C-alpha cells in the first residue's frame, strides 16, 4: 500500500503530513479552532482532541544564595543556629523549593569525641536531618569537615519562606563548632515551577 500523505502547497513548495506505517486503527484527530499563542504546543486529551497548551513545570523561577562565615560554637544537645539562614520571597503556591549548599568546617574544639547533628529547618520545623555524627573525632586528631546537603521541599507554602541550618552536639563532651576559622558556609534556594 502506498504511503498516506497530505500535502499543503504554496505554489512552488509543499509541507507534508505522513501517516505512520504501523497504524493499527483509524484515529480521528480534531484540531483546535485557532492558531494558538506564541510558545504554545499541540496537546492531546488521548481521545483524539488536539488543543493548544502552555509548557510548564520544572522551570526555574528564582535563585537566592546566602552565606555565613562567623564561627558558632555549642555544647548543647538542643539545636542552635549555625547563623546560616535564608529567605526566598514570592513563592507561588504549588511550586517547590530546591535547597542545597554546604555547612563548612564542622568539628570539635579539641581532640575529643564530639558528634555533631545538623538539621534543615523551614521556619521552626525540621524538614531534614542532614548529618547525625558530623565532625566525630578521635582523641588523636582535631579535624573539621564540610557537610554538603540537598533537599527538595515539595510543599514549602507560599509567600516568603525561610530556611535555617541548625546544629547540636549529638554525642561526646566537647564543644561543637561550625564555620571554624571563618570558613564559608552556603545556602542556595531555588524555586521550581509546578
Displacement of CA 17 from its chain's centroid (Å): 41
pLDDT tens digits along 116-151: 899 999 999 999 999 888 876 555 455 678 899 999
Clarify whether residues 94 and 147 are in a common domain: yes
CATH number of the domain encompassing residue 126: 2.60.120.1340
Clarify whether residues 80 and 156 are in a common domain: yes
Half-sphere exposure of residue 28: CA atoms within 13 angstroms, side-chain side: 1
Contact between residue 103 and residue 147 where contact means Cβ atoms under 8 Å apart = yes
Contact between residue 89 and residue 160 where contact means Cβ atoms under 8 Å apart = yes
C-alpha closest to that of 103 among 125, 80, 128, 131: 131
Give 111 or 27, the one with higher predicted confidence: 27
Residue matched to cell numbers 552556603: 186
Clarify whether residues 138 and 168 are in a common domain: yes
Clarify whether residues 157 and 79 are in a common domain: yes
Q: How far is CA 61 from CA 46, 58, 96, 153, in A?
A: 30, 9, 10, 15
Clarify whether residues 64 and 91 are in a common domain: yes
pLDDT tens digits along 31-69: 888 888 887 888 888 888 888 888 766 789 999 999 999
For the entire predicted model, the pTM comes to 0.71
Q: What is the pLDDT of residue 76?
A: 93
Clarify whether residues 121 and 40 are in a common domain: no
Give 23 or 1, the one with higher predicted confidence: 23
Q: Show the domain range for 13.
A: 5-54
What's the domain count of the chain? 2
Amino acid at each position: 500500500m502506498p504511503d498516506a500523505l497530505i500535502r499543503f502547497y504554496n505554489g512552488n513548495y509543499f509541507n507534508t503530513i505522513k501517516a505512520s506505517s504501523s497504524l493499527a486503527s483509524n484515529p480521528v484527530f480534531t484540531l483546535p479552532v485557532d492558531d494558538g499563542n506564541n510558545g504554545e504546543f499541540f496537546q492531546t486529551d488521548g481521545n483524539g482532541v488536539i488543543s493548544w497548551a502552555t509548557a510548564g513545570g520544572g522551570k526555574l523561577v528564582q535563585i537566592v544564595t546566602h552565606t555565613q562565615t562567623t564561627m558558632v560554637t555549642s555544647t548543647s544537645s538542643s539545636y542552635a543556629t549555625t547563623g546560616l539562614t535564608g529567605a526566598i520571597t514570592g513563592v507561588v503556591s504549588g511550586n517547590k523549593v530546591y535547597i542545597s549548599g554546604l555547612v563548612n568546617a564542622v568539628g570539635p574544639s579539641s581532640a575529643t569525641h564530639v558528634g555533631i547533628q545538623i538539621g534543615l529547618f523551614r521556619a521552626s520545623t525540621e524538614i531534614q536531618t542532614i548529618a547525625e555524627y558530623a565532625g566525630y573525632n578521635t582523641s588523636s586528631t582535631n579535624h573539621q569537615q564540610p557537610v554538603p546537603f540537598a533537599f527538595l521541599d515539595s510543599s514549602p507554602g507560599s509567600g516568603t519562606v525561610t530556611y535555617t541550618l541548625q546544629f547540636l552536639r549529638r554525642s561526646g563532651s566537647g564543644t561543637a563548632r561550625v564555620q571554624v576559622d571563618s570558613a564559608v558556609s552556603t545556602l542556595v534556594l531555588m524555586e521550581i515551577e509546578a
